[in-house]
């Protein structure tokens, strides 16, 4: 049985998250992925959720309990492209500045550990 939950619950519960671009067209790959995950990993070892990404319009996150499970999934579905938005336009560069992340948090009003200031 597939396990689809919500982003926050999955993000808190599972230590590994991989975000993939959802290709346009039929979603047969998603059914195949769900069947593979159910058969190969079993219940409570994975979950999925629709998520946002600066890399693409549509993305899906798969959550895993171990790196080995995540690697097996990636090996089984090499056609899936990671939703890598690091180089997306408008993100800005943080290269060369150790404190850039802290500066970014201060600018948007976010304090330590994600609390709002």
Residue 95 has pLDDT above 50, yes or no: yes
Query: Full-prediction pTM beyond 0.85?
Result: no
How far apart CA 19 and CA 83 sit, in angstroms, is 5
State pLDDT tens for residues 53-91: 766 777 888 999 999 999 999 999 999 988 887 766 665
Write the pLDDT tens digit of every residue in 96-115: 444 344 334 344 444 444 44
Residue 30 has pLDDT above 70, yes or no: yes
pLDDT of residue 46: 95
Domains and CATH numbers, the chain: 7-85 (3.30.70.2750)
């Amino acid at each position: 049985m597939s396990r689809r939950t919500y982003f926050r619950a999955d993000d808190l519960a599972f230590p590994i998250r991989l975000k993939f671009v959802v290709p346009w067209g039929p979603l047969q790959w998603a059914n195949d992925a769900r069947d593979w995950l159910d058969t190969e990993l079993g219940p409570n070892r994975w979950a999925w959720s629709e998520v946002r990404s600066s890399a693409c319009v549509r993305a899906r996150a798969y959550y895993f309990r171990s790196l080995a499970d995540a690697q097996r999934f990636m090996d089984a579905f090499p056609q899936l492209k990671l939703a890598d938005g690091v180089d997306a336009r408008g993100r800005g560069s943080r290269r060369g500045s150790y404190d850039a992340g802290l500066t970014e948090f201060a600018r948007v009003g976010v304090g330590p550990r994600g609390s709002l200031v």
